[in-house]
Amino acid sequence: MKRILVLHGPNLNLLGTREPEIYGSMTLDDINGMLEVRAKEAGIERIDFLQSNFEGELVDAIQKARGTYDFILLNAAAFTHYSIAIRDAIAAIDVPVIEIHLSNVHQREEFRHRSVIAPVVMGQIAGFGADSYLAALEIAIRRLERER
Ligand code: CA2
């Protein structure tokens, strides 16, 4: 039985309320609901969600994922671009992490082109709106099925 943790970084609690042209019109609850449905359908035992505006809370969650979760889907939001603490936490655990972005960060401001977590994650999915999360979940499901 497999367990997946979905982590959302700062300001993603505002999804659906502002900047729909960049981030889409779905709320975070809509996205989580969509992932929950797909995870259940695929026989995932448990999918848990955490949104935090605090770097340390995300670091704690990543550290605690060790031994509890089989995959982490992470949209670190702005922390992607500068949080060495989140990068170090990912590097310190043996749980695979998929980096997610709603927007295509490479088409945006220069400072969003750099991801300090990219070198320590399994891979990055960016630019597909809420489908970026769904694509990441699909990859996690396929990888976990292969392990069975
Ligand atoms: O495209 C993404 O998913 C990002 O991770 C979103 C972050 C941004 O800092 C990254 O460069 C790319 C920002 C999340 C803020 O979300 C908002 C949602 C609605 C209204 C305002 C902000």
Q: What SS3 state is found at 121?
A: coil
Which numbered atom of ligand 1 lies nearest the CA of 75? 5
Domain that holds residue 115: 3-147
Which numbered atom of ligand 1 lies nearest the CA of 126? 1
Find the helix or strand (DSSP H, E) in which 125 lies.
strand 123-126
pLDDT of the residue at 20: 84
| Cβ pair 52, 10 in contact under 8 A | yes
CATH number at residue 46: 3.40.50.9100
Residue 105 CB–ligand 1 contact under 6 Å = yes
pLDDT of the residue at 96: 98
> Could you give the residue numbers annotated as active site?
23, 101
Residue 31 CB–ligand 1 contact under 6 Å = no
**pTM above threshold 0.85:** yes
pLDDT of the residue at 38: 98
Q: For the chain (length 148 residues), average pLDDT per consecutive 10?
A: 96 92 92 98 97 98 97 98 98 98 97 98 98 98 91
Q: Alpha-carbon distance 66 to 41, whole Å?
A: 25
pLDDT of the residue at 114: 98
Q: How many residues are recorded in the chain?
A: 148
Q: Alpha-carbon distance 9 to 50, whole Å?
A: 9
pLDDT of the residue at 88: 98
Q: How many domains does the chain have?
A: 1
pLDDT of the residue at 24: 85
pLDDT of the residue at 95: 98
| Cβ pair 80, 97 in contact under 8 A | no
Pair of tokens at residue 102: 């709603």
DSSP string of 47-62, one letter each residue: EEEEE-S-HHHHHHHH
pLDDT of the residue at 112: 98
pLDDT of the residue at 33: 98
